[in-house]
Amino acid sequence: MPSIPSLVRPESLAQQGYDTIRRAIRDGKIPRGQLFSESSLAESLGVSRTPVREALLNLFRDGVVEIVPKRGYRLVELDPAAISEIRLLRAALEQIVVGRLCETATPRDIRELRAILKGKRRSQEDMYSIDEAFHIRMAEMAGLLQIRRELLSVRGKMYLIASGTQVASMRNDKVVREHAELVDALERHDCEAARRLITEHVERSIDAFATARVQLSEQPRLGRLS
């Protein structure tokens, strides 16, 4: 898999592997239905098999990859019922987060969230990274670390839905506006508005992912591999 970038070493290699493999899944660099091995990923990432194995086990626990005995790994296939359940679960988790944060957010918290949305230390073109940093940081600010873990798991499944699609370009402008409106509601401590906005935001995002997935599946196979 030569298109997956090699890792650097300032943080845990297993964590880097986890993040990089999730991103590769999101970007369609690990195709659905294709078996892959620890060895092939380790070679692409420029590391030993040990951190790759740990990363894949975490992705297995997230429900993103499945283990095929004696053959390797492959991405989990999500049917419409699973996608509908992910939509409900993500909305429920995010409602808990913004409900708590609406009551506890300080001016400093609001400033930090706005800085994240401006893409500080990140590429503004990478909507996925900014979006994930924003949502995960809200859970941390709210002191909901178990929910933070569950959100990472659910977001991994969302990447399965979006894998290889062009949904980012479809949603960029809308996501920016929806994030800003949510932070405004948190700053006002308007909990009802915050819960409504986060629910609408999550539902629109997952619906856009699902629509893009259907559109991708309807393209000729040659077009998808080009």
Q: Tell me: the pLDDT tens digits for 96-135?
A: 999 999 999 999 999 999 999 987 655 545 778 889 999 9
Query: 115: which residues sit within 8 A by CB, 6+ positions away?
Result: none
Whether the predicted pLDDT of 24 surpasses 70: yes
| pLDDT at 182 exceeding the cut of 90 | yes
Q: What would the pLDDT profile of 136-155 be if each residue is shown by its tens digit?
A: 999 999 999 999 999 999 99
For the chain, give the percent of residues with pLDDT over 90.
61
Q: Both ends of the chain: CA-CA distance in Å?
A: 16
Domains delineated in the chain: 13-75 (1.10.10.10), 80-218 (1.20.120.530)
Distance (Å, whole) CA 186 – CA 142:
12
Is residue 126 a contact partner of residue 112, using CB atoms and an 8 Å limit? no
Q: Kindly state the average pLDDT of the residues 148-175.
A: 81
Q: What is the pLDDT of residue 50?
A: 92
| Calpha distance 95→142 (Å, rounded) | 12
pLDDT of amino acid 224: 41
